[in-house]
Amino acid sequence: MAREFPENQKQGGDDIDAGVKAIEAMRNKGKQSEPEGEAQIGPGNATVPKEGYTKVRFHVKSRPDDDENVVLAVQGDVLVIQRNQQVIIPDRYLDCARNAKYPQFKQMPNQPRKIVGEILVYPFDILGTATEEEYNALKAEGNKISRAALADS
């Protein structure tokens, strides 16, 4: 049987309702209404910085079991990138490629294996910076090629 505590019991009704209303008023005091579709960031007129774009070239396959294409996903957005070609990618995908690693082990006889480093899953070279317009143009061209290849198969 559940034990009833005095602070959980309603005592007088109006006192508790007034307390709840006071707490809600304090919570809502600092909130400002926001127009839909816009997000306010901190005090003042702070804006979200524009995303950067980088020209990169992903290395060819180094092992037979590597993927033919580089597949990077950030928050559900997937980007399929051809290897050994200069491409332009948003910096969020570049960060994803930088963080895609697997451990490198060293095994000595009669000793447990030891992690000696990390290897990039998709090694790449940075070739320079790019603009959003260049990225959108290359992406549209790549989407057209991908759709044509899917239609043929």
Name the pLDDT band for 2 (thresholds 50, 70, 90): low
Q: Which runs of E-coded beta strand occur in the chain?
A: 53-58, 69-74, 77-82, 86-90, 101-106, 114-120, 124-130
Query: Are 78 and 66 within 8 A, CB to CB?
Result: no
Give the per-residue pLDDT at 18: 58
DSSP label of 32: -
**Residue 123: what pLDDT?**
93
**CA-to-CA dists, residue 101 to 22, 114, 117, 119, 135, angstroms:** 52, 16, 10, 5, 25
Of residues 150 and 18, more confidence is placed in: 150
pLDDT in tens, 16-68: 555 556 656 655 555 444 444 444 555 556 676 788 999 999 999 988 888 89
Q: How confident is the model at residue 130 (pLDDT cuts 50, 70, 90)?
A: very high
Q: What is the pLDDT of residues 98-114, one digit of tens each?
A: 999 999 999 889 989 89
Question: Residue 139 — pLDDT band, cuts 50, 70, 90?
Answer: confident
| % residues pLDDT > 70 (the chain) | 69
Query: Could you tell me which of 62, 72, 54, 52 has the C-alpha nearest to residue 123?
Result: 62
Give the pLDDT score at 3. Answer: 52
Q: Select from 88, 83, 79 the least CA-distant residue to 62.
A: 83
DSSP, res 45: T
- The total of other beta-carbon atoms located within 10 Å of residue 74's CB is 13
For the beta carbon of residue 36, count every other beta carbon within 10 angstroms.
Answer: 4
The predicted pLDDT at position 32 comes to 47
Greater confidence (23 vs 96) lies with 96
d(Cα 64, Cα 8) in Å, to the nearest integer? 66
What does the pLDDT read at residue 75?
Answer: 92
Q: Which of 85, 99, 87 is nearest to 130 (CA)?
A: 87
| Pair 67, 94: CB distance under 8 Å | no
